[in-house]
C-alpha cells in the first residue's frame, strides 16, 4: 500500500495504513502530535493504535527536543531472535516438556531470579564482570529509583507479562527459530513515569493540546537527565533480552543434545526507544513507539500474536518513514474489550496446535484482539522485505 499523507498543523502525517481503517480518535491523536512546535516529521506504521500521549505505531522526529511519552513506559522494549540448526524432524510430537523447561529457566510475570541475579555462567557474551560497567551507571539514575536496585538486578533476564513472550518457532523451510519479546521491566517503567511527570510540570509545555505530549528541550538539565536515564534503560532492555536468549539456548542445547544444536547470529531490535539520526541534513531525535528501525539492509523482527505468523525482515531504508517499519500486528481491541468479547474456548480454538497457556489469565492476548499481521505486512512492502516467515510451536507468556 502506498503512503497516504494527511494534513497536520506543523508537518503532515505520513500514514502506512488505509485511513478508512484507522479509528477517528487515533487520527485525532496523530494530529495532536503535529501541533507540538518542535516536531519535524511524523510517520505512522500500519499497526497503529491509540496510546497515551503519542500513538503506538508512530515515529516522531523532533528538533532539539524529545517527548518521553513518544517512547512509552516500557523503555527499550523490543525483540530478539536467532535461527538454529534444528529442523522439524528433530522435534518430538509433544513439546510440553520444552515449555516447562523454558518456564523453569526464565522467570515470567512477576517472578524474579532466585538469589537476586541471573546465573551468567556459560552464557555467550556474559563473562564474569561483563555487566559491572553497566551497573556502575545505576548510581547516576534519578533519585526516585535508587531504592529499586535489588529488584532491577533480580529482574534482569526475566520476561514480564502482558504481550511479552518467548517462542519456539518453525519457518517455511522447517528450520527452528528462537524468539522473544521483552523490555526494561519495572525499572524502565519507573524511570519513564518519573520523567513524563517532570516534563508535564515544565512551563514551556503549558500550551499543549495534550500535556502527555510534553517535551524536554535540548541543553537543559531536564533533557540531560532524561537522556542519561533513557539510554541506561535501553541498555538494560538489551541485556535483559540477551540473558533470556542465552538461557533459552541452554534449554534447547540440553533438551535436544542428541541433535547438537548450533545458533546463528542473534538478531535484536528495540521498538520503544530514542535514536539520534540525520535526515535532509538535520540532526534529529527520532522516537519510535511501537516501530522498529528498518534502514537499508538492517535485519528486524515483526511478530504477530499467539497463534499467528511472525516475520524476520530486512529494511529497505525508506527515509519518508524515517527508516522505520511496524513492530507487530498492533491491537484492535483493548484488553478489557478482549476479555468481554472472547472466551477460553475461543482462545483454545485460536491457538490450536501451539503449546501455550490457554486460560483466562492470557485471554486478553488472544489472536482475535490483534490486527491481521498479513494485512500489516502487505501495507509496508516499501518499508521492509520478508526474510523468513515463522509460526509458533511453543509460546510462553507471563
- pLDDT for position 122: 87
Burial class (CB in 10 A: 0-12, 13-18, 19+), 258: exposed
- pLDDT for position 1: 66
Instruction: Give pLDDT tens digits for 68-102.
Output: 999 999 999 999 999 999 999 999 999 999 999 99
- pLDDT for position 162: 87
Question: Structure pTM?
Answer: 0.96
The Cα-based distances of 67 to 84, 211, 294, 378 in angstroms read 39, 10, 21, 30
Q: What is the mean pLDDT of the chain?
A: 96
Question: Three-class SS of residue 162?
Answer: coil
List the one residue out of 283, 325, 271, 307 whose CA is nearest residue 81.
Answer: 271
Instruction: Give pLDDT tens digits for 237-292.
Output: 999 999 999 999 999 999 999 999 999 999 999 999 999 999 999 999 999 999 99
E strand or H helix at 253: helix 221-255
Instruction: Give pLDDT tens digits for 174-200.
Output: 999 999 999 999 999 999 999 999 999
C-alpha dihedral (254, 260, 263, 264), degrees to nearest 10: 180
Residues 285-311, mean pLDDT to the nearest whole number: 97
Residues 359-366, mean pLDDT to the nearest whole number: 95
Q: Of 113, 181, 194, 327, which residue is the catalytic one? A: 327
Determine which of 53-57, 123-127, 328-332 has the lowest per-residue pLDDT on average.
123-127
Residue in this structure with the C-alpha cell 482475535, named with its chain if needed: 368
Told to judge if 219 belongs to the known catalytic residues of this protein, a careful annotator would answer: no
For the cut 90, the answer to whether the pLDDT of residue 141 exceeds it is: yes
Amino acid at each position: 500500500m502506498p503512503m497516504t499523507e494527511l494534513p497536520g498543523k506543523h508537518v503532515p502525517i505520513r500514514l502506512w495504513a488505509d485511513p478508512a481503517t484507522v479509528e477517528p480518535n487515533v487520527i485525532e491523536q496523530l494530529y495532536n502530535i503535529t501541533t507540538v512546535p518542535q516536531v519535524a516529521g511524523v510517520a505512522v506504521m500500519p499497526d497503529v493504535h491509540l496510546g497515551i500521549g503519542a500513538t503506538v505505531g508512530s515515529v516522531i522526529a523532533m528538533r532539539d527536543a524529545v517527548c518521553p511519552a513518544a517512547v512509552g513506559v516500557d523503555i527499550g522494549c523490543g525483540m530478539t531472535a536467532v535461527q538454529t540448526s534444528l529442523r522439524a524432524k528433530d522435534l518430538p510430537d509433544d513439546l510440553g516438556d520444552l515449555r516447562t523447561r523454558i518456564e523453569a529457566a526464565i522467570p515470567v510475570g512477576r517472578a524474579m531470579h532466585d538469589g537476586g541475579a541471573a546465573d551468567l555462567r556459560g552464557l555467550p557474551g556474559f563473562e564474569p564482570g561483563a555487566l559491572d560497567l553497566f551497573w556502575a551507571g545505576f548510581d547516576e539514575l534519578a533519585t526516585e529509583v535508587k531504592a529499586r536496585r535489588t529488584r532491577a538486578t533480580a529482574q534482569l533476564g526475566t520476561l514480564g507479562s502482558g504481550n511479552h513472550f518467548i517462542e519456539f518457532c518453525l519457518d517455511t523451510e522447517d528450520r527452528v527459530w528462537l524468539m522473544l519479546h521483552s523490555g526494561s521491566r519495572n525499572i524502565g517503567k519507573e524511570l519513564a513515569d518519573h520523567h513524563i511527570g517532570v516534563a508535564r510540570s515544565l512551563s514551556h509545555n503549558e500550551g499543549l493540546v495534550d500535556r502527555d505530549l510534553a517535551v524536554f528541550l535540548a541543553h537543559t538539565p531536564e533533557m540531560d537527565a532524561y537522556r542519561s536515564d533513557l539510554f541506561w534503560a535501553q541498555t538494560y532492555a538489551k541485556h535483559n533480552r540477551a540473558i533470556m536468549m542465552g538461557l533459552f539456548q541452554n534449554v534447547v542445547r540440553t533438551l535436544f543434545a542428541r541433535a547438537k544444536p548450533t545458533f546463528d547470529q542473534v538478531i535484536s531490535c528495540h521498538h520503544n526507544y530514542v535514536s539520534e539520526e540525520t535526515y535532509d541534513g538535520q540532526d534529529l531525535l527520532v522516537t519510535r513507539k511501537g516501530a522498529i528501525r528498518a534502514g537499508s539492509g538492517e535485519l528486524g523482527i515483526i511478530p504477530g500474536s499467539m497463534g499467528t505468523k511472525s516475520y524476520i525482515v530486512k529494511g529497505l531504508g525508506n527515509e519518508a518513514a524515517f527508516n522505520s517499519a511496524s513492530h507487530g500486528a498492533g491491537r484492535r481491541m483493548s484488553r478489557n474489550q478482549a476479555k468481554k468479547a472472547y472466551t477460553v474456548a475461543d482462545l483454545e480454538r485460536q491457538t490450536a496446535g501451539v503449546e501455550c497457556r490457554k486460560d483466562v489469565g492470557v485471554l486478553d492476548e488472544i489472536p482475535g484482539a490483534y490486527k491481521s499481521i498479513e494485512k500489516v505486512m502487505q501495507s509496508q512492502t516499501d518499508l521492509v522485505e520478508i526474510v523468513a516467515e515463522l509460526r509458533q510451536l511453543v509460546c510462553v507468556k507471563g
